[in-house]
Amino acid sequence: MKSTRTRRTVRRTAAMTAGTALSLLLAACGTSDRAIGDKPPTAADVEGLKAAKAKVRTYTEAPTSIGITQPVGKPIPTGKKIVMIGAGPGGIGTIIAHDAMAEAVKELGWELKFIQPKEPTPQLLQQALEQAIRLDPDAVVISATDVGPIRDQLAKLKARNIPVVSNNGPDPSGGPLTIQISGLDALSELAVAIADKTLADMDEPGTIGIVGLPGYRIVQEYIKVYKEEIESRCPSCEIVEATISVASLGTTAGTDMTNFTRANPDMKALFVGYDGMAVNLFSAAQAAGAKLPRTYSLGTAPTSIPALASGGLTASAPLDQGEMGWRTVDVLARIFTGQTKSALEHDVKYTRPVIWSQDLNNVPGTPVGNTFPNLVKDYPAQYKKLWGK
């Protein structure tokens, strides 16, 4: 595969050949008073890294509120049929959100059906939505999905006055989407937070590796935000980029990521664009006898929490997909009671970014099964109160 290296001091991009893809771990690196190429850090670098350290301190405490205080305030109708379209087996977060939604809808007497495409390809997503349309639901939920390839199906739903709620997607509310929850604005906050943590741990300019996942446009979009934060705070830093395919998730992805880091031995940090991409990275690196750099991720998978606790995964910016499932149900409750505007005012806002890291002493215990630690400890109770339950 092709990877690119960006020299921030001169704003150039050059193509270079490297092993492919993504990594989830980063070997500890010592600090020195020299920047890339033995050039001293610039004043902008020093100030930027100092600011990143200060900012990280604001990301250590979990929020205590879901950030929504306005009750639905009207009787919520029962008997609603909701269809949720998954984002493929690699979309671990969407599976967690579905499981949480399945619990939340019980509180309101609704039915939830889950349609999971084998991969998030345009054709398979189109087929899944056509299946959903045939079920004649009261609402459809999509996750981490680009509107472009499914615009025809969304138009059919809109023509039937069937609301479509999206979460973690790249497109804004409006048009074919009734509401986008936790879209690019919210995920950008997480990207900025983990970029600040990356720089805070580096102490000096260096090379940062990034691996993307082209099958999910939202991942590529917030990776841009991560890069912009690195660039603004550390002009002398270099970025090396690569991608892995959706088909490699859970199979060759770990080997691809390991090869990427070995091909770039000067890498001081690695950002895994989506945490679920690196499920088998640790075992692949161990098998290859490879030393990985410090690693950072966004959208922490439950299976990555032990790696965080041990310090293997340096830091991660979690997105509570379980809470997202309940938030989606709250959105639908407001839509079904004629309060779409209220949902747009309250539910789309992200509570506050958090960073988990061993050195911040805030990594939660390993969850049981395919569940996720509650960022807001009592969020189900807070949602039930909004629903009058």
pLDDT digits (tens, 9 = 90+) for 201-259: 998 999 999 999 887 899 999 999 999 999 999 999 999 999 988 888 878 988 999 99
Q: Which of 303, 216, 338, 211 is nearest to 264 (CA)?
A: 211
What integer is the mean pLDDT of 19-44? 48
pLDDT at 23: 32
Coil, helix or strand at residue 150: helix
Give the range among 33-42, 73-82, 118-127, 188-197 with minimum mean pLDDT.
33-42
**So what's the pLDDT on residue 36?**
52
Nearest alpha carbon to residue 276 among 309, 242, 313:
313
* CA proximity to 268, closest of 211, 208, 312: 208
CB 177 within 8 A of CB 202: no
| Among the four given CATH numbers 3.30.70.1150, 3.40.1390.10, 3.40.50.720, 3.40.50.2300, the one describing domain 81-183+320-350+378-386 | 3.40.50.2300
Q: Which CATH number fits domain 2-62+186-317: 3.30.1490.100, 2.40.30.10, 3.10.20.30, 3.40.50.2300?
A: 3.40.50.2300
Measured distance CA(350)–CA(181) in Å, rounded: 9
Mean pLDDT, residues 364-382 taken together: 91
Q: How far apart are CA 103 and CA 107, in angstroms?
A: 7
Average confidence (pLDDT) over 108-124: 94
Domain boundaries, the chain: 2-62+186-317, 81-183+320-350+378-386
53 pLDDT band, cuts 50/70/90, is very high
Instruction: Say whether 370 sits in a helix, a strand or coil.
Output: coil
pTM: 0.88
Q: Which residue has the higher pLDDT, 221 or 25?
A: 221
Judge whether 2-62+186-317 and 81-183+320-350+378-386 match in fold: yes
User: Mean pLDDT, to the nearest integer, of 288-300?
Assistant: 93
